[in-house]
Structure 1
Amino acid sequence: MRNTIYLRRNRKLIVHPGHSRLPLTYMATAMKNIEYLGFTFSKELMEVLQTLSIEMFTELYHQLAKDLKSIVGANVIFKPMYPDFPKQVMLASTAELYINAMCHYLTFQLPEHVALDRFPLLDQVDLEVIDLGSSEDFDRVIRNLIEAKGSISESDREDIEWVISTSDDLSTVLPDEIPMKENVGFVIGALLKYEKANIKHIAKYMKTATDVLRLAVALSDGDVSLATNTKFRKFKRPERRLLLELLEQCGNRVEDMLRYKNRWIRLGEILHPAEYKSKYNGCKEAFDILRNNKPFETFGGRVEHALRMQDTSLAADLLKNRAGEFARRLDHLLRINEDFSPVVEKFAAIAMNVSTPVLLQVMAHFSHRQERHDMRTFFPKGNVAKAVAIPNTLPDIEGSACETIVQTCKNTLISRFAKLPSLGDVYVDVRLRQYVMPFSQRSASKALRTIVRGSRIEMAAGDTIRFFLWWKEGNVNGKHTGRVDIDLSAVMYDEHWQYVEHISYTNLRSNKYNAAHSGDITSAPFGACEFIDLDIPSIVKYGGRYVVASLNSFTEQPYCDLPECFAGWMMRKYPNSGEIFEPSTVMDRIDIAADTRIAIPVILDLVKREIIWCDLALQKHPHFYNNIEGNQKGMVLMGQAMTSLIKPNLYDLFMLHAVARGRIVEDADSAQTVFAVSEGITPFDISRIMAEFIA
């Protein structure tokens, strides 16, 4: 399992040298087989593998092949309705496509087609290298996840929990401090679950009442982001005492608990602090105030009163004691008073106390504050990846104020980063401007290459992009899903987001563009798949620019209730060569497992030849039929929002580190530290970036 996690996250394997000499035929056969999946071994890994016995190598290889197939999606059988897609769909008559579809809808049987021999794959692919790793490096990967300055994904949490459950010594993965509060609740919950913690061990991580609330939520298998309510389970007496002891040590208890008043009242009914007559007096007092609505003046209440009175001086003076809150309210303070100088000066005085993630977001916000955009886009906190776009009605702010704030943030960050170890000569790839900084990954799906929502990836060589979808119906948690019909669709728009065409089960091919759908399959007891081919030059030639790829659960099951569902895309130069699903050409594969019925994995910008990473849910309850026509308005809005998104980017982050910690060079080959798209520290090293560079 450790190598399964390590391979998925870092493309590395831990292999201990043996004392044998592996026959070269075994090595060559294994490498040829994984080449079909798009991978190969590094020289260092080959050297160690050659010291293994045949039995040891065979065991390692079988697990490796299984893991690699799962990573790219080759662990299932792809059997589309038209086995000679796309040629077969493009050549069939409209009547034939219609009759085949109607027969399938009535009988759920696929039309009988004898697959013709296909030419071997003509595309040349760049193989991804699997390198030799180490136990120390694996522990660092897990430690980086725990130390992340932002929220982590469900997949990240699963990996951490496995390590906690199986490791006897956690000293190499548990840091002295866990910066992200959600991670505190989850990690401590896992330590308690596997009986690897006591109050002395975990008390240092628990600093506020909300930390304790998150722990109670984690122990109840709830949402530690607190975006949704959790039904607390009945805690055992030792667990109740632990939670009360942790809460008793927290300062500013009542104000913190009032933020989640109703949840605390429900939790208090389970903890029963009144049962302990001579203990937990602070907890008893706090619960008494909450339950009986006793008056209690809070810091937030004082700040809100000052803002209502438009007394920015008083508000700023209050907020100076809470630097992070000051930074988050900075735009509001500047909007309600034309004399911005006192606010800007007070912010400069406390900037060194603001966390790095908040400073980076403030810097990015005010860098673009004077630009006029039609929409503002937010990603609400929670486990489902949703985006909210609202009209941009923010009034203007004095440009000099924005410039001063940006420079204050830069100076503070450079000073902070300068205290970190030297990076030597540093190369920073300018293409990193296209990649968004990772601050929140809680709703990110497991993928072949996970990056941050809103980032733009250059398309590989090839004129055809092929989307694929695979899903299965069956039993989940003892309950059968019933018939499951997931539909793969692609909608094309021009540069002004005016609709031009769509490819879906209602329109298997385009009359104008070279685009085709492999056929609508409406039941998947043994698994089912759909494909869409889009020829980029033909779409651009006739004015198309953006393509929104979407998955729609026509039968209304949320994806989290399916045994398996994933999607992805390939770049193909010769779409009629090779198999329809060629693992080595897969650019990305993403699990679709959120509590939603519509997913938008990516948006394509065909003019710039960029893939915009979305990993979004559109809406939970679509209008009328759950198909592409019924969701046009929402898709356009999400498309416009994602293509105009302004977020902090990795180029700016790494340039700050380069200025503070090294000397910038123009050539990657001469650099000691490389920040780039495909070498050195890349946008896909999310956990490392969150732990080591948003520091």
Structure 2
Amino acid sequence: MDTLESLVISRRFRVPIDASAASTPGWGEVAARQLDAALLSVGFKCSAALLERLAELPGETVVDLGVRVLAAVRHLVGDHVQHNAYFIDFPKNVPDTVEFWAGLLRQAMLDPVEAASVRRSPVFDLLALPGYGRYRHTYADLLAAHAELIPLAGDRVTVLELGASPESETRELYLSLAGSEVPLSAEDLVVLRALAAHAEEPGRIPVRENRAVINEARLAAGRPPLVDTVTDVLRLACGASGGDVTLAEPTRFRSFRRGERRIILRALDAVATPAKLGDVPRHREQWKRLGERLHPHEYPHLPRAAQVFEVARGVRPARSFDSRVEAALSAGRTGDAVELLGKAPGALLRRLDHLLRTGSSASVVLDAAEKAAAGASGRVLLSLREHLQNRLAPTAGRVFANRHGRAWTAPDVRSPIEESVVSRAVSILDEEITRRLPDPGELVVDPDVLDVALPLSGKAVAPGLGMLPRGSLSAVDGKLLRFFVHWRQAEQCTDYDLSALMLDASYGDAEHISWTNYRNGFAEYSGDLTDAADGASEFVDIRLAQAKRPIIIPQVNIYSGESFDEAAEAFFGYMSRDAEQEGKPFEPRTVRMKSDLRGAGRVALPLVFLRGDDGAWRVKWLHLYLKGRAGFNQVEGNRVTTSLLVRSIVERDYLRVRYLTDLLRQRGSSGEHTTYVGLQAPADLPEGARVFTPGTLHELIPA
């Protein structure tokens, strides 16, 4: 795992420096300027305040810090590896696909040994031809064949700010993650687990998975966990065993020490009331396995804890809350179901669409929803608001995605809801959400952030540079797009294929660029690599002005070998340049987005590029994975599924930052403080301003 310092740099774009660090006259200013120049080569620079503070430090200290800062940001943009290309002159001199294969075949036939091998083989495999799929030149050869990049004003420059002490910065990062109103990504849960062992506990931990991670630290310290349901205890046991605190995957429980067993069982006994035993059957098998490790029979003074395992084994009956609701709905007793759900406000709101379609009085259901709104979380309110604003629009299909980003579609067979009913429900939500928003003071909003989707869940989004939530829209600068993928296999030979699917405005008339079609009139492919023992990179160039189709979908297909999770390293990103900028195939200062590839899906769909009616290009974030086949995935084989999924995401109206900032303005303010919402904080904000950027946008979600 990264050091805490590099985490702060890469997540917050802040360089932690202790205010008490010695200020020694010397060559610190020279070292600071050298660091700033080195950072600029990878698209970063120091703020004026950071440069001033670095200049006060001893030169040796600045050099040591600079090495760590540069390593952190190079890794963030993907510049920590050497990006070679199969075709050394890429994007120039990319051959015609047929000519390329014919040349390889001709070369093989001219070699007596290879020719005999080709003739003996019962199956003619083009990918096995000599010279195919492996670099035929060194990285140094590639550098010699390319000119230096011409820096332009449009290149990305990300400013690194002066941070507080390392302890203060890590504490702030910890509190932000622990107090998040939305579920965190798997990577962020790892960070939270590391920080929980070193920081004080936050006052409020709204997300159950976050609470489980913090409870792991409490258990290790011999302290009672923070639980109020039996499932909280199960999550703790899973996390303490190195398992999945989301409970989506089964955990192999470890042997707990006697002191740990006593703490866990006491916590379980305290919350295992008859009303809460109904939660046990949902995870019956995991409870059975946990019981074998906790030995509840050794603690007769904790009888309610023992009852949990009796329910899991089927010895003691316990009816879940959901089963009682379902029974009432199945019997046509919607009123009883609504009354039951009134005791669980979040559950009622999550079922609102269903309740409105049961044929019962809409006014009764909406009255119950109005009462429930005050007791539900802000995330539930916003999620329902987004759902309702799409309810009246016709859709090509419903899209579903799990926590890994694995996506699928289904026909929309729901019966319609009257517009007046939807309108009243939306008004209820808007009123409650506005009531919960804080006093913004003087609200300053960067227009570029308005079309960023609210982060209602972070599970599918792997942290990285320029990452935005699914459904976000942002402008595309430059005239040339270059997608890239880099991977390094761990054990077995692994072949990933970067491709691009191009569609017309009706999501048809497909065209593609891939290892089976190297180029067309506006795009080029850098060449196919089939082995990545030392790492491999592939690129696709798109000249936007000449693009014949308004929808461009980059994708990464696993043709063979290790999954994204199994590979030693795997990441995707894109660069944008102006037409006159040449340079190497990979230029870090032109990288706009880069993040790791992960998940069990065999096809990655990170984002889609869209040309509007005004001719301008924008990118919409997908964060989707297709299951794909076990091997031999190609862009040609998934274009129908890809088209339908992407269309569902593109046509969906996501709840964006614009929604909350409009409510903040309507709410008004009496405070003298400043609230800033944008992609990057400007340098001239007043002291004490509350800043929301993509890395902290989850903090904008009301409690």
TM-score (norm 1): 0.89
Letter aligned with residue 13 of structure 1: V
Match of 1:258 in 2: 281
1:646 aligns with 2:669: no
Q: Secondary structure at the match of 1:554?
A: strand
8 Å CA contact 1:247, 1:253 repeated in 2: no
Read off the aligned partner of 2:160 and give its amino acid letter: I
1:387-428, CA deviations, whole angstroms, 9 ceiling, x for partnerless residues?
A: 2321122211122211111111111222222xx4x3212244
1:198 alignment counterpart: 223
CA contact 1:565–1:591 (8 Å) conserved in 2: yes
Q: Is the 8 A contact 1:87 1:576 kept in 2?
A: no
Where does residue 415 of structure 2 map in the other structure? 395
Identify the residue that residue 52 of structure 1 maps to in structure 2.
57
| 1:527 paired residue number | 535
Partner residue in 1 for 2:515: 505
Structure 1 residues 300-350: Cα deviation after superposition (integer angstroms, max 9, x where no partner):
233212211222222212211111111111111111125311111222123
Alignment-derived partner of residue 415 in structure 1: 435
Aligned with 2:406 (options 359, 383, 386): 386
Question: Residue 297 of structure 2 corresponds to which residue in structure 1?
Answer: 274
Superposition map of 1:25-44 within 5 A: 25-44=30-49
User: Closer, same or farther in 2 for the Cα pair 1:295/1:160, shift >3 Å?
Assistant: closer
Q: Which residue of 1 aligns with 2:114?
A: none
Structure 2 counterpart of 1:130, from 155, 160, 163? 160
Distance 2:128 2:692 in 1: 44
CA distance in 2, matches of 1:47, 1:615: 39
Q: Name 2:206's counterpart in structure 1.
A: 179
How far the C-alpha of 1:117 sits from its partner, in A, is 4.6
Aligned AA (2:544): I
Secondary structure in structure 2 of the residue aligned to 1:610: strand
Q: Distance in 1 between matches of 2:475 and 2:506?
A: 21
Residue aligned with 1:561, SS: coil
CA drift at 1:26: 2.4
Equivalent residue runs for 1:313-392 within 5 Å = 313-337=335-359, 339-380=361-402, 382=403, 384-392=404-412
Gaps of 5+ in 1: 475-480, 665-669
For 2:442 and 2:32, the matched residues in 1 are separated by: 38
SS in structure 2 at match of 1:87: coil
Equivalent position SS for 1:648: coil
Among 223, 231, 246, which residue is 2:252 paired with?
Answer: 231
Give, in angstroms, the shift of residue 191 of structure 1: 4.2
Shift of 1:473: 2.1
Find the aligned partners of 1:602 and 1:247 in 2 and give their Cα distance: 44
**What residue in structure 2 maps to residue 591 of structure 1?**
596
1:280 deviation in Å?
A: 1.4
Query: What runs of 5+ residues in structure 2 fail to find an aligned partner?
Result: 109-126, 683-689
Structure 1 runs (4+) greater than 6 angstroms displaced? 101-104, 680-683
TM-fit CA distance, 1:441: 1.4
Q: Which amino acid in the other structure matches residue 226 of structure 1?
A: L
Identity of aligned residues (%): 27
Q: Give the distance between the partners of 1:361 and 1:551, measured in 2 at CA.
A: 30
1:249 Cα shift?
0.7
AA aligned to 1:46 is L
Deviation at 1:160?
A: 2.1
1:162–1:270 CA distance, 2 compared to 1 (3 A):
closer
1:404 matches 2:408 = no
Matched, 1:149 2:154: no
Aligned equivalent of 2:453: 436
The count of corresponding residues between Structure 1 and Structure 2 is: 658
* Residue matched to 2:135: 110
What RMSD in Å do the two structures reach over aligned CA positions?
2.5
C-alpha contact (below 8 Å) 1:209/1:247 kept by paired residues: yes
Displacement after TM superposition at 1:228 (Å): 2.1
Q: Deviations over 1:165-187 (max 9, x none)?
A: 4x3xx22xx21221100111122
In 2, distance between residues paired with 1:225 and 1:297? 22
Letter in 1 for 2:463: K
Tell me, what secondary structure is at the counterpart of 1:228? coil
Alignment deviations for residues 667-694 of structure 1 (CA, whole Å, 9 cap, x no partner)? xxx99323234447887534x3324533
Q: 2:627 corresponds to which residue?
A: 619
Q: Does 1:242 align with 2:259?
A: no
Corresponding position of 2:12: 10
After superposition, the C-alpha distances for 1:412-465 in whole angstroms (9 at most, x for unaligned) are 222222xx4x321224456545222112212322311222122122112x1110
What CA deviation, in whole Å up to 9, does each residue of 1:187-228 have, x standing for no partner?
A: 222443xx33511xx3xx211001011111111222211122
Deviation at 1:22, TM superposition (A): 4.1
Matching residue of 1:477:
none
Residue number in structure 2 paired with 1:20: 24
- More deviation in 572-581 or 553-562? 572-581
Instruction: Return the offset for 1:536.
Output: 1.0
Query: SS of the residue aligned with 1:443?
Result: coil
Say if 1:548 and 1:600, in contact at 8 Å, map to a contact too: yes
Code of the residue aligned with 1:142 in structure 2: it is Y
Partner of 2:229: 208
> d(CA) in 1 for partners of 2:263 and 2:40?
53
Q: Could you tell me whether the CA contact under 8 Å between 2:471 and 2:622 is conserved in 1?
A: yes
- Which residue does the alignment assign to 2:115? none
Residue aligned with 1:259, SS: helix
In structure 1, C-alpha distance between the alignment counterparts of 2:75 and 2:215, rounded to whole Å: 30
Mapped partners of 2:650, 2:321: distance in 1? 39
Distance in 1 (alpha carbons) for counterparts of 2:646 and 2:214: 36
Match of 2:149 in 1: 121
2:598 match: secondary structure: coil
In 2: Cα distance, 1:393 partner to 1:431 partner: 37
Cα deviations across residues 523-576 of structure 1 (Å, max 9, x unaligned)? 12221111110111211xx3x011111111211311111111112110011366
1:629 counterpart residue number: 636
Does the 8 Å CA contact 2:467/2:594 hold for their aligned counterparts? no
Q: Distance in 2 between matches of 1:440 and 1:83?
A: 42
Amino acid at match of 2:424: T
Q: Which AA in structure 2 matches 1:150?
A: V
- Report the AA paired with residue 84 of structure 2: K
Q: Secondary structure at the match of 1:389?
A: strand
Q: State the secondary structure of the residue aligned to 2:483.
A: strand
Match runs of 1:550-629 below 5 Å: 550-574=555-579, 577-607=582-612, 608-621=616-629, 625-629=632-636
AA in 2 matched with 1:685? P
More displaced stretch, 304-313 vs 78-87:
304-313
1:299-318 pair list within 5 angstroms: 299-318=321-340
Q: Structure 2 counterpart of 1:632, which letter? A: R
* 2:85 partner SS: coil
Cα separation, partners in 2 of 1:634 and 1:343, compared to 1, 3 Å: same
The equivalent of 2:171 in structure 1 is 139
Question: What is the TM-score with the length of structure 2 in the denominator?
Answer: 0.88
Instruction: Assess if the C-alpha contact under 8 Å between 1:121 and 1:577 holds in 2.
Output: yes
